[in-house]
C-alpha cells in the first residue's frame, strides 16, 4: 500500500535507460514500474505494470491531419468500413480540411477516430496504444501523488467531469495540469482508446452480456463493501465494453505508448 | 443465444450518444447499496458487421504450415470460431458445435459444398502449426474444408476486435474468451453470430443457407 517510495526509486533508476535512444521523447513521459489494483480484480491481487513511455497529451487534430495526408487510405472518404464507421472524423469539413474552427481545434485532441485508425497512426511513429492496465495505472495519479485513490476528493473530481456537460469545442490538453508522471488530461478532457478494450474483464467473456451487475458486485467486493470510490473506473470499463473497433465517437480520442528499451547487461 | 442484430450507423451513433450522455451529461448515480442494482449496456455491433474481416492484412499459418492471409478464407461461406487447442473446456465444445452444423448441412449437398470452416487460435505461443495439425488430424477434418490458423498477438487482437470477441489471458496456459460462432459471407462480412455453447443453431443454419445463396 506504500508504493510511492519504490515508484520514485524505480523512476530515478529508469531514467538513464531511455535518454538518448527514444525519439519523440519530448512528447512522452517515462512511467515508472509499479502496481495498481484493477477494478476487475476478483482476487484483490495488484497488477504489476512495467515501466513504459506514454504520450504526455492525447493526439491532436493537427497531428492526425498530417497522418491522413501521408496515408490516403485513412482519409474519411476512403477508409474501409471495417476500420472506421461513417462517423469517422465527421467533425472535419473534408478529408484534409479541419473546417472553419480549424485554429481552435488544431491543437485539441482528435476524436471520432476508431481503434483501428488510432493503431495505424501510432504504428507510423513506432508507438502503440497503452493497455488497460497501463492506462488505469497512470490514471490513479494526481499532481502530487502516484496513487491518489485513497483520497475521496480525487474520485470526486473525476466524477464531476463525467457529470459535466461536454463543451462545444474540446479544450486543449495544455490547459490541464501535469500529473506526477508529467501526463496531462487523462481525466477531464476526452475518453481514450486502449489497446485491449475488448479485454474480458468486468463484463466477462460474454459480449452480449450487457448486464454488469455481477461485475459491479465483484468491483464492490474488491473495493470493500459500499465503497463507491472507484465508480469512475467502473464507468470507464463500462464505456469500453460498449465499443467496437470501428466506432468513431465524439469525445473518444487516444494517446500513444511505447515500451522502454531494456538496457543490455554485459556479463 | 445472442443473435446478431443489424444496426444502422445512425442507430449505433444514437446508442453511443445515449451512453455518452449517460456518462457525461447527467449526474451519475452512485452504485446503490442494493447489490441487485444493474447497469445494462448495449452490446457493441462488431466492426465486421459493416466491413470485411478480409481487409485485415495479418499473416497466419494453417495446419499444413502454409502462410495464409484471411482473405484466403473467402470464396466460400466460412463458419469461424476463435479459441485455443489446449483449452480443456469450451473450445472442444465449440468445435463440436461446428461439427454439428457441418453434419446438419451435409443433408443438403449443394449448400454443404459452399460452406467451409475455420478454427482460429488466440494462443500463438502454444498453437504452432504442428499442434494445429495434430488437433485437426485427431478430429479427422477434411483439410480442404477445415482451416486451422495460428498467427501473432496483433493479428489475433485485430481479428477478435473485428468479430467483437472478448478475451483475456488468465493464466500462462489459459484464456477467458467469448464463445462465438461467426458466419462470414463470401465477402468477409458477418452474416450471423451465435453466442454460447451448444446453443440453438436454427438461426445459424438459416443464415448460412442464405449466405450461400449470395454469389
Q: How far apart are CA B14 and CA A242, in angstroms?
A: 13
β-strand partners of A253: A192
- Supply the pLDDT for residue B44: 72
B32 touches chain A (CB under 8 A): no
Higher pLDDT, B215 or A61: A61
Query: In chain A, positions 164-183, which contact chain B (CB-CB < 8 Å)?
Result: 164-166
Q: How far apart are CA A83 and CA A93, in angstroms?
A: 20
- Supply the pLDDT for residue B11: 39
Predicted structure pTM score: 0.82
Residue A41 pLDDT grade (very low, low, confident, very high; cuts 50, 70, 90): low
**B168 vs chain A: nearest CA distance in angstroms?**
5
CB contact under 8 A, B47 and A245: yes
**With a cut of 0.90, is the ipTM above it?**
no
Cβ proximity of A157 and A187 under 8 Å: yes
Residue B92 pLDDT grade (very low, low, confident, very high; cuts 50, 70, 90): confident
Higher pLDDT, A107 or A264: A107
Query: In chain B, positions 165-194, which contact chain A (CB-CB < 8 Å)?
Result: 165-168, 176-180
DSSP label of B213: H
Higher pLDDT, B49 or A135: A135
B31, B56, B196: residue with CB nearest A228: B31
A228 touches chain B (CB under 8 A): yes
Mean pLDDT of chain A: 81
CB contact under 8 A, B50 and A87: no
Residue A225 pLDDT grade (very low, low, confident, very high; cuts 50, 70, 90): very low
Q: How far apart are CA B83 and CA B68, in angstroms?
A: 18
pLDDT higher than 50, residue A227: no
Q: How far apart are CA A91 and CA A149, in angstroms?
A: 35
**What is the mean predicted confidence (pLDDT) over B134-142?**
91
Q: How far apart are CA A170 and CA A216, in angstroms?
A: 31
Q: What chain A residue is nearest to B43 in terms of C-alpha separation?
A: A208
pLDDT higher than 80, residue A245: yes
Number of residue pairs across A and B with CB atoms under 8 Å? 166
Q: Quick: pLDDT tens for A168-192.
A: 788 899 989 999 999 999 998 999 9
Nearest to B60 by CA among B187, B152, B163: B152
Phi/psi for B116 (5° steps) reads -135, 175
Nearest to B71 by CA among B147, B153, B165: B147
**Which residues on A lie below 8 Å from B25 (Cβ)?**
163, 165-166
**What is the mean predicted confidence (pLDDT) over A20-48?**
75
Q: Quick: pLDDT tens for A101-122.
A: 899 999 999 999 999 999 999 9
Residue A81 pLDDT grade (very low, low, confident, very high; cuts 50, 70, 90): very high
DSSP notation for A81-145? TTT--TTTTTTSSBTTB--TTHHHHTTSBP-S--HHHHHHHHHTTT-BPPPHHHHHHHTT--SS-
Q: How far apart are CA B171 and CA A193, in angstroms?
A: 25
A212 touches chain B (CB under 8 A): yes
**A90 vs chain B: nearest CA distance in angstroms?**
12
Q: Quick: pLDDT tens for B141-197.
A: 988 899 999 999 999 999 999 999 988 888 888 888 888 999 999 999 999 999 888
For the ranges A23-32, A99-108, A258-267, B27-36, the maximum mean pLDDT occurs at: A99-108
**What is the mean predicted confidence (pLDDT) over A190-206?**
78
Higher pLDDT, B215 or B19: B215
Residue A145 pLDDT grade (very low, low, confident, very high; cuts 50, 70, 90): very high
* Sign of the torsion angle spanned by Cα atoms B176, B181, B186, B191: negative
Residue with cell 464505456: A239
Work out the number of other CB atoms within 10 angstroms of the CB of residue A20.
6
- Supply the pLDDT for residue B117: 97
CB contact under 8 A, B25 and A211: no
- Supply the pLDDT for residue A228: 55
- Supply the pLDDT for residue A196: 94
Residue of A74, A208, A223, A249 to mutate for B, most B C-beta atoms under 10 A? A208
- Supply the pLDDT for residue B174: 86
- Supply the pLDDT for residue A56: 97
Record the cell numbers describing residue A120, joined without a space.
Answer: 495505424
Amino acid at each position: 500500500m506504500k508504493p510511492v517510495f519504490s515508484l520514485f526509486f524505480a523512476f530515478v533508476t529508469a531514467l538513464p535507460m531511455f535518454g538518448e535512444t527514444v525519439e519523440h521523447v519530448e512528447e512522452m513521459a517515462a512511467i515508472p514500474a509499479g502496481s495498481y489494483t484493477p477494478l476487475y480484480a476478483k482476487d484483490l491481487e495488484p497488477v504489476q505494470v512495467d515501466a513504459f513511455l506514454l504520450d504526455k497529451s492525447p493526439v491532436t487534430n493537427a497531428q492526425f491531419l498530417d497522418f491522413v495526408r501521408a496515408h490516403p487510405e485513412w482519409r474519411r472518404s476512403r477508409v474501409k468500413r471495417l476500420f472506421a464507421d461513417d462517423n469517422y472524423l465527421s467533425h472535419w469539413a473534408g478529408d484534409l480540411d479541419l473546417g472553419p474552427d480549424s485554429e481552435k481545434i488544431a491543437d485539441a485532441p482528435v476524436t471520432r477516430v476508431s481503434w483501428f485508425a488510432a493503431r495505424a497512426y501510432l504504428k507510423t511513429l513506432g508507438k502503440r496504444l497503452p493497455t488497460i492496465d497501463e492506462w488505469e495505472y497512470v490514471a490513479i495519479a494526481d499532481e502530487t501523488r502516484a496513487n491518489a485513490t485513497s483520497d475521496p476528493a480525487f474520485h470526486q473530481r473525476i466524477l464531476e467531469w463525467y457529470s459535466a456537460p461536454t463543451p462545444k469545442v474540446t479544450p486543449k490538453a495544455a490547459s490541464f495540469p501535469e500529473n506526477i508522471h508529467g501526463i496531462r488530461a487523462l481525466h477531464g478532457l476526452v475518453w481514450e482508446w486502449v489497446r485491449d478494450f475488448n479485454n474480458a474483464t468486468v463484463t466477462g467473456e460474454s459480449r452480449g452480456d450487457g448486464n454488469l451487475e455481477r461485475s459491479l458486485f465483484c468491483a464492490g467486493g474488491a473495493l470493500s463493501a459500499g465503497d463507491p470510490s472507484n465508480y469512475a473506473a467502473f464507468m470507464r470499463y463500462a464505456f469500453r465494453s460498449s465499443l467496437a473497433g470501428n466506432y468513431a465517437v465524439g469525445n473518444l480520442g487516444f494517446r500513444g505508448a511505447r515500451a522502454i528499451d531494456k538496457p543490455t547487461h554485459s556479463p | 443465444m445472442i443473435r446478431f442484430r443489424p444496426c444502422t450507423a445512425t442507430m449505433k451513433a444514437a446508442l453511443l450518444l445515449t451512453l455518452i450522455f449517460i456518462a457525461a451529461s447527467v449526474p451519475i448515480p452512485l452504485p446503490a447499496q442494493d447489490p441487485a442494482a444493474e447497469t445494462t449496456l448495449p452490446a457493441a455491433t462488431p466492426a465486421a458487421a459493416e466491413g470485411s474481416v478480409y481487409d485485415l492484412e495479418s499473416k497466419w499459418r494453417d495446419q499444413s504450415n502454409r502462410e495464409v492471409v484471411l482473405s484466403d478464407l473467402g470464396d466460400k461461406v466460412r463458419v469461424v470460431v476463435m479459441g485455443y487447442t489446449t483449452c480443456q473446456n469450451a473450445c472442444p465444445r465449440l468445435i463440436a458445435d461446428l461439427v454439428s452444423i457441418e453434419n446438419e448441412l451435409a443433408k443438403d449437398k449443394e449448400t454443404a459444398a459452399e460452406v467451409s470452416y475455420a478454427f482460429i487460435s488466440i494462443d500463438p505461443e502454444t498453437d504452432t502449426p504442428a499442434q494445429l495439425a495434430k488437433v485437426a488430424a485427431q478430429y479427422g477434418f477434411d483439410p480442404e474444408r477445415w482451416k486451422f490458423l495460428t498467427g501473432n498477438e496483433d493479428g489475433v487482437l485485430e481479428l477478435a476486435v473485428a468479430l467483437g470477441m472478448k478475451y483475456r489471458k488468465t493464466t500462462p496456459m489459459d484464456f477467458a474468451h467469448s464463445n462465438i460462432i461467426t458466419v462470414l459471407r463470401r465477402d468477409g462480412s458477418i452474416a450471423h453470430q451465435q453466442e454460447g455453447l451448444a446453443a440453438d443453431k436454427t438461426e445459424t443454419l438459416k443464415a448460412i443457407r442464405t449466405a450461400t445463396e449470395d454469389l
